Structure 1
Amino acid sequence: MKTSLKPLVKPNAIAVVGASSDFRKVSGRPVKWLIEKGYKGKIYPVNPKAQEIGGLPAIASIDDLPDGVDLAVVVLPASGVVQAIRDLGRKGVPAAVVFASGFSEIGEEGCKLEAELREAARASGVRICGPNCLGLFNAFERVIASFSQYVNGEVPAGPIAFVSQSGAFGTAISALARSRGLGLGYFVNTGNEVDVTFVDAMRQVIEDERIRVGAGYIEGLKDGPGLCDLADRAMELGKPLVLTKVGRTGAGARAAASHTGSLAGEDIVFDGVVRQKGIIRARNEEHMLDLVEVLSCCDLPEGAGIGIATQSGGAGVLMADRIEELGLSVPRLSDATQAKIQECIPGFGATANPVDVTGQFVADPKILSESVLHMLDDPDVDVGIVWLQLMEGFADTLVSLFEDIKERATKPFIVAWVAAPDEAVKALRKRGIAVLRGAEPAVDAVVGLIRFAEARRQWSADREVRAKQQLAQVVIPSGDGPLSTVDAVRILKSAGVSIVPTEFAASAEEAVHAAESVGFPVVMKIESADILHKTEVDGIRLGLKTAEDVRSCFADLVSSVAQKRPDASIDGVVVQPMFKGDVEVVIGLQDDPVFGNVIMVGLGGVLVEVLKDVAFRKCPLTPRDASNMIDSLMGAAMFGSFRGRKGIDRDALVAMLCRVSELGAATEGVLRELDLNPVMLTSEAAAAVDVVMVRHPRQVTSVSDSKASSGLSAAALMEK
């Protein structure tokens, strides 16, 4: 169901189905809070046994509702929900919030009831938030469709939209945000997501021009492609998405034919795709709110240089260490900047960055304000952090000082204030100045700000590249399971993927002819659909220099493998020229159950599953995506030059990753797995020397162009 969710989050009239006159009950709270919080639209309590509720006339049934109701808050038990949704659909009510539990979360019977509810929603056209949820609120229009205790307190509107799959934890985060003075314009708890998903809800609320940042808590993502589309839309709007997703280590291992498949756990794929799409991932609720506060207060920096001003040399060193741990640098201030700062601070202060203004600024606040402004003016500084502690007796002075800095500065900065007076924190946040509780949270949040700014610049720069991307045009033999090496090589070549010459031989004489064709010395590998990892059965022979070597080796190789794997059907061998690289990588595709086809790159060879130094992204890639993917590997330094060895041809590796990713995008739903392992890298080339390609275990006759990204045209065709 793709109808608008505006009636859900911004209704002009609300019915509360099952409303109670006892405002202490869950069923009484929505009416109570709609009235108390100042909702301006019409409110219709539906209860056949009541005359009035909260001073409002009660409606006997859904059928008696007037036209024009946009949202129904259904506070009935689970047993009455399905019929209520059918009745609402018949009445033309487009959206509903369902609080009731007793659905899929309780087991088989609940799953059946939830399936019935889903069908009722589709048949009636009612968009459902829930069931088993705490509902939602829109603080701008005072729409309170929730029974959460959070609403007992103030519901301040602000520039943050928060969507959570968890109810209790979501409202705990909301309460923590309120305690920080962060206003949530929207809160939506999606619950069991029988209809409206996390992605659906966030897509709706992020469009509101009053929202600057989207924040979310995810337990299990259902719509990976939708999240990618949402991220692109948020980038277009210039609105950061900050997500906390649990389950980093909970994804169970599953059987897979390829290295790529065995390494494609849920979290590592999620982590790679959200990084690719510019979504900022928060470790926990505190980190999320740190990021949200900074992103909602600060303009985007133009670069990655961080300036630090402190009243403590130790705090400055701690922050500098953390910045470098996260892969950024603390630039040394120019001589001209240092000279200006030296004129402001005591002689025993530090000027290079971090800037230590010492505690003397208490006597003369201009020491701090002028030092910070000079630091921010330095050409290598793009964003600043100002660290201080305590200062309860000088809170008002410091609030005025930071307000002055904000008015005069041309670059963003945040305040890290340890044990800050509460009133000072509230005053600064009211003035749009982010205040964090310590050194490391401040650094982590500023790094998030920098990374989003860089991601948006890259996204904008790649707009034309994405629009012109062409997916591979390939033909894949019908059937399922592993493809032969010859067929796999043909498909790779048609997609523009570099692989060494490969010939199949069913006999010793054919092997000799193949070796003469590709050129000595050669490699001979066993060919069997039942043996995908040849090294596991000693199924490879290297460095065969003559026809006689090849002839004698053929029988030995086939006999040896047959003894190790008597159950395997052996077709023959493949023959390739010897090709040695300076570095080996693995490149693969995997049909991920959430995101569809994703691409992997990592340090290759037989140790790939031991080292697990791999990165995943969604197909297809831009060259910049591919380059960022390479840089994210812990072993990325292996690709550079050292000890007289030239660096690898990085452009060739980037190009290969892009071609493989385009093949992956074109074969969505057709290929299950692909492994190119190893891919040999030299200073002049990149070429795969082994391939495992596995089809889905079902017949597919075509892949529609609709599978491709917008603006792309491609298809993977199955031979009849």
Structure 2
Amino acid sequence: MGSPSKKATVAPGPSDLSRLVDPESVAIIGASDRPGSLGARTVANLLDHSDFTGRPYLVSRTKKTIHGLPCHTSVLELPETPEVALLVVPAAQALTVLNECAEKGVRFAIVFTSGFGEMGEEGKRAEAEMARIGREAGMRIYGPNSPGLCNLNKRIGFMFSPSFHLDQRPGPIGLATQGGGIGRCFLQAMERGVGVGLWASTGNEVDLTVADFVRYYADADDISVIATTMEGIKNGPAFADAALYAAERGKPVIALKVGRSDYGARAVASHTGSLSGAAEVNSAVFRQVGIVEVDDMDELIDTAALFTRKRPTGREKVAVYGFSGGGCAMTADAIGSAGLELAEFSEKTLTRLGETLPDYAAVANPVDATSDILSRPEIGHESLRAVADDPDVGVVLYPFPCDYEELTGQIGASIAAVQGETETPILTVWMSDRLGAGYTELVEGGLVPVRSVRNGTKALQRWIERGRWNLDTGWRPIGTAAPGGEESGGERVTHTEPEAKELLARHGVAVPGSGVARTADEAVAVAERVGYPVVLKVVSARITHKTDVGGVAVGLADAGQVRAGLERIRESVTAARPDVPFDGVLVEAMAPAGIDVLVGVSRDPVFGPVMTFGLGGVLVELFQDVARRLLPLTPEQARALVEEPRCAALLRGVRGGAASDVDALVDLLVGVSRFVEVNGGAVEELELNPVRVLPAGRGVVALDAVLVTSGPLEGAK
């Protein structure tokens, strides 16, 4: 898990959800006894298939009794206020019923009903009214468009699913999804031993969100690992803050974010009406706050299950063990391709293996114990234990290429016995489509077999990488940023380059010596003050790409070249943009040679201000070699940002080349972050491209700056 060096500043959430997931009283509004109806299934799941010990109430406008319990025509008629109300009513009645719940003083309302935000603008207006009702009454709303909630560790089901009574395997995983089907998919991994303690499927999230349940799981004693699938994120800073809160409490969050492609984003919009956000930004933020991002459901299940076995340190090396030489070789290849490292056995381990296994067995990692263990399972137990005990082994990957019925059943039982004797996780890979006795033994032994070498290796990779992550206590949401990255509402203003540089310089961002000149004499005076050679650039908030209109002259070495350069710029810009008045030029000292990088800030619609770093100039568009971080940045985070993209090798010095001034670059990134933080939501876009990074000890300098704001800036004239 990594060891935090100091406590983060995240704080507990504003609402306790314990009475939602384990209440003393529940009302089902829309209860029914019509076979196959949602109301009947909801009643059966609570009364027949749950161990609910609280007080149930049924509300029906047409029935006097259901399941032997009296029915009431309205929640207002109940003899007490239920802590939770389950709304199994048509969309047209949902707002009326919610108002009645609010009047009664209901604490939590679970709205199963669909037909709201996912249907368009009218549905979104209805959701806004739902949110208002809940907010004014102090009633938390779960849903709508939700299959409900189930607390499997307590065996309580608030849902209409016909599978609830089948899909019950308690465990240490807290699952939070927005979609019901993929959440059910995770639950049904119980067939290979995955246990879920509580599943929340939050639907359209008019109020309670996945982030609320991540916070709840972070404090829940019966949950140790958090898994989530999301289609959209309603409040980016709140979600990131919840993930840090969980990390602070030693609970990893494993996430599958769908809607990453254009196709997926359109599907998300039609399903829940969620804003999916930019995939690259989502992934960057996830890495920053310690979320383990996965690519599909197999990865989500396999990785979450592995985290329940043991917490990684990030230093784990892998041992491959099996009874098939081909299977072991294939697995070793996958380990190498994933960038993982095979362990090197000690002499003691090699001796134990040599004494236990036949002479023709391969005892160096990977270990091929040969088919002898099929007839002599005791040698498999002893040799596997020797591998697991080796001091260089952090995890064992054990491929099963095929099923031999009772023979592999014996091996599976032996592996489970070894796992009970060692803390080293043994990750088994069941490759065969025949799920025989060996598979059953592995499942019952708690080994949660994965179904392919690729899946096993991917889970290991995610697990070990998360072990290298440390709780980055410097990050916190920018306090003045609106949830969801909403714009400040002010008019968008594009600043001139000299204005932008002057503002940034006040926050420690290094810029060249410069001055603005309208005439040739003024330009020469500035050039002689800052020192030759100089560059001239047209000054205009309406011209961003200056070179496209002939607005730049470089390498001017004396007064004559400065005068001529200014006239060339005036003529070129006037010809290219006759609609733009000529306001003069920025005269700047030419920077020494170095490496050009890009530093940019944009406002993501989900998470707010995000910094992008990579190669500068046109190379950033050609190679797309960039890294991103949610703002604000600490110096440690800024250094990690610099070191992430491939171009970091250039800054370190390649093939004997001089190292660049990375320390000064880190200071510049922190200065930019500070500028954005101080100015809250006013900064819409900021791009420094290029930033010239000079050799070590000589600093950095921002050669160009584009700044777009939508509100007043601190210190602006």
Using the size of structure 2 for normalisation, the TM-score is: 0.88
What residue number does 1:448 align with? 462
What residue number does 1:599 align with? 611
Aligned equivalents of 1:372, 1:576: Cα separation in 2: 69
Identity across matched positions, percent = 33
Instruction: Report deviation, 1:28.
Output: 1.4
Q: Quick one: structure 1 residues 496 and 186, their matched pair in 2 at CA, closer, same or farther if it must change by over 3 Å? A: same
1:361 to 352, 365, 373: 373
Q: Quick one: structure 1 residues 61 and 577, their matched pair in 2 at CA, closer, same or farther if it must change by over 3 Å? A: same
Aligned equivalents of 1:133, 1:65: Cα separation in 2: 25
Instruction: Report deviation, 1:334.
Output: 4.9
2:90 corresponds to which letter in structure 1? P
Aligned equivalents of 1:640, 1:311: Cα separation in 2: 45
What residue number does 1:384 align with? 396
Aligned equivalents of 1:136, 1:171: Cα separation in 2: 11
Aligned equivalents of 1:327, 1:51: Cα separation in 2: 66
Aligned equivalents of 1:639, 1:376: Cα separation in 2: 41
What residue number does 2:496 align with? 484
C-alpha contact (below 8 Å) 1:161/1:206 kept by paired residues: no
1:8 to 20, 24, 31: 20
Aligned equivalents of 1:15, 1:605: Cα separation in 2: 63
Instruction: Report deviation, 1:453.
Output: 1.7
Aligned equivalents of 2:534, 2:120: Cα separation in 1: 59
Q: Secondary structure of 2:680's partner?
A: coil
1:80-125 alpha-carbon deviations (Å, 9 max, x no partner)? 1111111111111111111112222223332332232222222222
Does the alignment pair 1:117 with 2:130? yes
C-alpha contact (below 8 Å) 1:599/1:617 kept by paired residues: yes
Q: Secondary structure of 2:447's partner?
A: coil
Which range moves more in the overlay, 336-345 or 274-283? 336-345
Aligned equivalents of 2:181, 2:198: Cα separation in 1: 16
Instruction: Report deviation, 1:600.
Output: 0.6
Aligned equivalents of 1:194, 1:635: Cα separation in 2: 43
What residue number does 2:589 align with? 577
Instruction: Report deviation, 1:251.
Output: 8.7
C-alpha contact (below 8 Å) 1:500/1:687 kept by paired residues: no
Which range moves more in the overlay, 74-83 or 53-62? 53-62
Does the alignment pair 1:431 with 2:433? no
Does the alignment pair 1:678 with 2:675? no
1:252-305 alpha-carbon deviations (Å, 9 max, x no partner)? 99xxxxxxxxxx971110011001111111111111111111112233245142
Aligned equivalents of 1:130, 1:597: Cα separation in 2: 29
2:658 corresponds to which letter in structure 1? K
1:472-501 alpha-carbon deviations (Å, 9 max, x no partner)? xxxxxx974122222322222222223333
1:106 corresponds to which letter in structure 2? M
2:497 corresponds to which letter in structure 1? T
Aligned equivalents of 2:320, 2:511: Cα separation in 1: 50
C-alpha contact (below 8 Å) 2:369/2:380 kept by paired residues: yes
Aligned equivalents of 2:359, 2:577: Cα separation in 1: 78
RMSD (Å), alpha carbons: 2.8
1:71 to 64, 75, 84: 84
Which range moves more in the overlay, 338-347 or 642-651? 338-347
Q: Quick one: structure 1 residues 139 and 695, their matched pair in 2 at CA, closer, same or farther if it must change by over 3 Å? A: same
Correspondence list, 1:56-67, <5 A = 56-67=69-80
Correspondence list, 1:488-637, <5 A = 488-637=500-649
Give unpaired runs (5+ residues) of structure 2.
Answer: 1-12, 266-275, 481-489
Q: Secondary structure of 1:179's partner?
A: helix
Q: Secondary structure of 2:521's partner?
A: helix
2:448 corresponds to which letter in structure 1? A
What residue number does 2:29 align with? 17
1:568-626 alpha-carbon deviations (Å, 9 max, x no partner)? 33322222222244432111111111101111111111232232221211112234433
C-alpha contact (below 8 Å) 1:529/1:569 kept by paired residues: no
Which range moves more in the overlay, 363-372 or 542-551? 363-372
Does the alignment pair 1:91 with 2:104? yes
2:280 corresponds to which letter in structure 1? I
1:515-557 alpha-carbon deviations (Å, 9 max, x no partner)? 2222222222222101122233332222111122112111112
1:141-200 alpha-carbon deviations (Å, 9 max, x no partner)? 23221112331424222111211111233323333x233232221112211211112212
1:311-356 alpha-carbon deviations (Å, 9 max, x no partner)? 3444344334433443433344455644554444444444443333
Q: Quick one: structure 1 residues 360 and 656, their matched pair in 2 at CA, closer, same or farther if it must change by over 3 Å? A: farther
Q: Secondary structure of 1:58's partner?
A: strand
Instruction: Report deviation, 1:11.
Output: 1.4
C-alpha contact (below 8 Å) 1:164/1:189 kept by paired residues: yes
What residue number does 1:402 align with? 415
Q: Secondary structure of 2:504's partner?
A: helix
Q: Quick one: structure 1 residues 50 and 479, their matched pair in 2 at CA, closer, same or farther if it must change by over 3 Å? A: closer
C-alpha contact (below 8 Å) 1:518/1:576 kept by paired residues: yes
Q: Quick one: structure 1 residues 268 and 470, their matched pair in 2 at CA, closer, same or farther if it must change by over 3 Å? A: closer
1:215 to 217, 221, 227: 227
1:229 to 241, 260, 270: 241
Aligned equivalents of 2:528, 2:346: Cα separation in 1: 64
What residue number does 2:272 align with? none
What residue number does 2:287 align with? 275
Correspondence list, 1:52-451, <5 A = 52-175=65-188, 177-250=189-262, 266-301=278-313, 303-334=315-346, 337-389=349-401, 390-419=403-432, 421-451=435-465
What residue number does 1:259 align with? none
1:436-487 alpha-carbon deviations (Å, 9 max, x no partner)? 12211111101111122222xx21xx44x569x999xxxxxx9741222223
Aligned equivalents of 2:277, 2:129: Cα separation in 1: 32
Q: Secondary structure of 1:637's partner?
A: helix
C-alpha contact (below 8 Å) 1:598/1:664 kept by paired residues: no
Does the alignment pair 1:649 with 2:646? no
Aligned equivalents of 1:366, 1:574: Cα separation in 2: 81
Q: Quick one: structure 1 residues 505 and 661, their matched pair in 2 at CA, closer, same or farther if it must change by over 3 Å? A: same
**Count, aligned residues:** 681
Instruction: Report deviation, 1:676.
Output: 1.1
Instruction: Report deviation, 1:686.
Output: 4.7
Instruction: Report deviation, 1:426.
Output: 4.0
Q: Secondary structure of 1:408's partner?
A: coil
C-alpha contact (below 8 Å) 1:676/1:688 kept by paired residues: no
C-alpha contact (below 8 Å) 1:162/1:188 kept by paired residues: yes
Correspondence list, 1:462-481, <5 A = 462-463=472-473, 480-481=492-493
Instruction: Report deviation, 1:394.
Output: 2.2
Aligned equivalents of 1:56, 1:503: Cα separation in 2: 84
1:345-370 alpha-carbon deviations (Å, 9 max, x no partner)? 44444444333333333344354444
C-alpha contact (below 8 Å) 1:78/1:102 kept by paired residues: yes
Q: Secondary structure of 2:38's partner?
A: coil
C-alpha contact (below 8 Å) 2:231/2:259 kept by paired residues: yes
Aligned equivalents of 1:466, 1:289: Cα separation in 2: 29
C-alpha contact (below 8 Å) 1:51/1:58 kept by paired residues: yes
C-alpha contact (below 8 Å) 2:41/2:162 kept by paired residues: no
Aligned equivalents of 2:590, 2:615: Cα separation in 1: 20
Which range moves more in the overlay, 574-583 or 290-299? 574-583
Q: Secondary structure of 2:502's partner?
A: helix
Using the size of structure 1 for normalisation, the TM-score is: 0.88
C-alpha contact (below 8 Å) 1:301/1:411 kept by paired residues: no
